[in-house]
Amino acid sequence: MSSNKIMVIFMLFLFCFGFSDGVNVGHLEGRKGQWQLLLKSTGVVAMHTALTFKNTVIMFDQTGARQSSYQLRRRFNGSRCTTSRNDLMDSTCYAHSVEYDIVSNKVRPLRLDTDPWCSSGSFLSNGTLLQTGGFGQGAKRVRLYRPSCGNHQCDWIQTSKFLSDERWYASTQILPDHDRVVVVGGRRVFTYEFVPKISHNEKSFHLPFMHQTRDDQGNNNLYPFLHLSSDGNLFIFANRDSILLNLRRNEVIKTFPRIPGKGSRNYPSSGSSALLPLDHRDNFQKVEVMVCGGSATGAIEAARERRRFLQGLRSCGRMVITGNNHKWEMDFMPKPRLMHDMLILPTGDILIINGAKHGCAGYDNARNASLEPYLYSPKRRLGKRFTVLRSTKIARMYHSSATLLADGRVLVAGGNPHGRYIFHNVAYPTELRLQAFVPHYMNKRYDDWRPSNLIIEEAPIRYGTEFRVLFFLGRRPSKVVEFIAYAPPFTTHSFSMNQRMLKLRCKSMVRGGADGWMVAVLEAPPSPNVAPSGYYLLTVVNGGIPSMSQWIQFAHA
């Protein structure tokens, strides 16, 4: 047989679900993961966190915390900061935002002109972080961070545009319309609005649901959970109730059943929520929301007035929001939890990390830190979905955050249940150490199964089109090879806004020769309803072992 014929046979068409068995997933289930200490101090509390497509992480705190631990030699206006008492007390002589470079493991200060305390954010299609609201003079402000300016000169830009209403403890969601964001709720604000405005006369829209879900305990519907359904409508969860809102008609088109059980889920009760991965196998039509944890009824009053810290909620609910059959499927975490973050891992599992077991959110309102992350596996049978992972020694309480990185680790930062930086003689001091949680599948023992050297040939990628991905795999792939697109979130106050994962369709996959290179033809999401335009992390998962991720961009034609 000629060498050409041998090559033709070697390059025969192969479906994405082919080849030999993969790593025994059951063998991996007992793995606990590892913790890494990255920095002894970020200088600034990571109340808000966002991963950019330049593999930097933006972290920022409230400017009202006065002095951070990152003292500046000069104010941002150029004047020198001295050792005088006035300068040592002057908040402008301290950074309140930093950019963390993952590769160099260093931070640099960024400028904030107004207070972004308890604000919200979304990434635009070009990777710009659009950041909205805050406190005081920052409550109506719109800020931008463009990570692609180069030469490490990127900084916050405060735009001349203003929000219609003050947005303190509001949430945002990027929409299918090109670079349009909806901002929902806020303290004593029962409206939603769009950024940018279509016309100068456009104002906010009244949303009675936000008024109806407010209670006497201190609202309990702040930072509402927002998820974009694949039909383009907006899911809103506040307190214990949820609706589906048609934003084009300003009309509630569905009112869902109340989640079972007592207690509350949104700030200051501070449970968390995630949208389970969307899948090409049902054409991305099944959209399922998950809500976990929160505070008990009366927890806010008990903590604030009587210094009693009630046990939080253990319950988690899942509900399909598409179709016509809506019912919460309830499950229970190993222990109660609140103020935690929920991140979707490339395997499709949900990591539940940070938080506390008793009390509620707010200054010094919680006790009994949750040091053990949980792994939730949606495909396992009810009652067997939670795994307890390796414990950390660092409490991550109020104003902590977490975000998934391109290299597979989870960055964990922040924690400050005080109005200023306090490091001694309190139950939970201000926390500036920076950690990474390393999931078990990132262990080097699985490198033989791990796809590497991802190359995406097209950029940007248009909706509904095919594109090719090359990657190296030294051995034959497993029976299940998946291609995952993940939109990194803006994370604050236990909610990862705009977090989204899609399992993409693989049209074909061939082995490109004896050197281990694979060539896969993938199909982009069909529309921006399924995947709003912007940057996503693409990951190849071989038999449960994910590759390092590479950035791709989905864009309008």
Residue 505 belongs to domain with CATH number: 2.60.40.10
What are 298-351's pLDDT values in tens digits?
Answer: 999 999 999 999 999 999 999 999 999 999 999 999 999 999 999 999 999 999
- Per-residue pLDDT for 88 more than 70? yes
Percent with pLDDT over 90 in the chain: 85
Of the ranges 148-162, 299-313, 355-369, 526-540, which one carries the lowest mean pLDDT score? 148-162
In a domain, 488, yes or no: yes
Burial class (CB in 10 A: 0-12, 13-18, 19+), 83: exposed
In a domain, 505, yes or no: yes
Using alpha carbons, list the distances in angstroms from residue 326 to 68, 256, 288, 319.
Answer: 47, 7, 10, 6
Are the C-beta atoms of residues 153 and 165 closer than 8 Å to each other? no
Strand ordering across the sheet containing 288-292: 272-275, 288-292, 315-320, 329-332
In a domain, 341, yes or no: no
**Structural domain boundaries, residue 485:** 3-25+449-555
pLDDT-derived band at 216 (thresholds 50, 70, 90) equals confident
Run of H or E residues at 10: helix 3-10
Percent with pLDDT over 70 in the chain: 94
In a domain, 428, yes or no: no
Burial class (CB in 10 A: 0-12, 13-18, 19+), 433: middle
**Stronger pLDDT, 62 or 17, i.e. the higher one:** 62
Task: For residue 252, give both structure tokens.
Answer: 């509630």
Are the C-beta atoms of residues 61 and 431 closer than 8 Å to each other? no
pLDDT value at residue 16: 59
Residues in the chain: 557
* CA-angle at 466, arms to 463 and 468, nearest 5°: 125
What are 367-378's pLDDT values in tens digits?
Answer: 999 999 999 999
pLDDT value at residue 28: 41
- Per-residue pLDDT for 79 more than 50? yes
Using alpha carbons, list the distances in angstroms from residue 542 to 240, 504, 507, 538.
Answer: 38, 14, 16, 13
Are the C-beta atoms of residues 102 and 81 closer than 8 Å to each other? no
Average pLDDT of the chain is: 92
pLDDT value at residue 476: 86
Question: What is the distance of C-alpha 40 from the center of its chain?
Answer: 24
pLDDT value at residue 149: 81
In a domain, 243, yes or no: no
Number of structural domains in the chain: 1
Task: For residue 258, give both structure tokens.
Answer: 């109340």
> Residue 16: CB partners within 8 Å, gap ≥ 6?
481, 482, 483, 506, 507, 508, 509, 520
**Mean pLDDT on 388-408:** 98
pLDDT value at residue 25: 42
Are the C-beta atoms of residues 510 and 11 closer than 8 Å to each other? yes
pLDDT-derived band at 547 (thresholds 50, 70, 90) equals very high
d(CA 341, CA 364): 19
Of the ranges 13-22, 348-357, 453-462, which one carries the lowest mean pLDDT score? 13-22
Measured from the Cβ of residue 532, the count of other Cβ atoms closer than 10 Å reads 28
d(CA 257, CA 136): 36
In a domain, 144, yes or no: no
pLDDT value at residue 217: 78
E strands in 28-110: 34-39, 48-51, 56-60, 97-101, 106-110
* CA-angle at 379, arms to 332 and 262, nearest 5°: 25
Are the C-beta atoms of residues 483 and 469 closer than 8 Å to each other? yes
What are 117-152's pLDDT values in tens digits?
Answer: 999 999 999 999 999 999 999 999 999 999 988 767
**Mean pLDDT on 18-40:** 66
d(CA 303, CA 121): 29
What are 265-304's pLDDT values in tens digits?
Answer: 999 999 999 999 999 999 999 999 999 999 999 999 999 9
In a domain, 497, yes or no: yes
Using alpha carbons, list the distances in angstroms from residue 311 to 216, 241, 261, 294.
Answer: 19, 21, 14, 10
